[in-house]
Structure 1
């Protein structure tokens, strides 16, 4: 998160009656606390990454790119798009993120095996929510 974005959030927060803002996303955790018309506390920390990203031998987490309802299968099909233990190809659909009537594919960033699907079918998810864990193929 860039410094200018944090300054803008501080200005917006100071102009409201919101006392505290906690924002988390991939790679960042921002905590702002307002007292009166000024922001008193500001902490911006990188989110720790326990596993080296991009390494084919380490698990990789595919996260939600938006708010929506996570679907394991297309509404017109009975089989899931990807199940635990199955091999997937790069760009293959792992699931769908439903935003109203719109269905957006959640795709595999590389060739891999599905290790885990943490969210159940039909779960309401937020931006950055882990949806699928991939391992080496």
Structure 2
């Protein structure tokens, strides 16, 4: 970002010669935002990016269950924190029960598949908000 900060006056001059209202440049080091305020080009504060949801997909076809058949409580609820590798559901494939696990630590933010729904490989089952 330091290299970009040195070039900000040059970028502002180029932007002034256009009808572009906002220029946002993202790099691994940060984000630079230049915008118009009247006739002037000014550096704007970077907006906070919304965290991205990470969907948990069905690892196989089967019937998605929110809980183990011998337990009443669901393995994961919306708003609940889960750890990497923790079971968040079960796929029933005939007599086989295959755990559906969280790929990383996070908070369950949504459930896409109803309990007892037949799903195919890659079907989004839950949304995970990474920590």
**TM (normalized to structure 1)?**
0.58
Instruction: Specify which of 111, 114, 122 is matched with residue 117 of structure 1.
Output: 111
Instruction: Specify which of 70, 94, 98 is matched with residue 92 of structure 2.
Output: 98
Q: C-alpha deviations, 1:10-54, integer Å up to 9, x for none? A: xxxxxxxxxxxxxxxxxxxxxxxxxxxxxxxxxxxxxxxxxxxxx
* Distance in 1, Cα, partners of 2:62 & 2:78: 22
* Distance in 2, Cα, partners of 1:82 & 1:103: 16
* Distance in 1, Cα, partners of 2:56 & 2:72: 23
**Does structure 1 residue 58 correspond to structure 2 residue 52?**
yes
Instruction: Give the paired residue count.
Output: 81
Select the structure of larger CA radius of gyration.
2
Which secondary structure does the structure 1 equivalent of 2:55 belong to?
strand
Equivalent residues of 2:67, 2:90 under 8 A apart = yes
1:136 shift after superposition:
2.9
1:65 shift after superposition:
1.3
Q: Which runs of 5+ in 1 are unaligned?
A: 1-56
* Distance in 1, Cα, partners of 2:108 & 2:120: 21
**TM (normalized to structure 2)?**
0.60
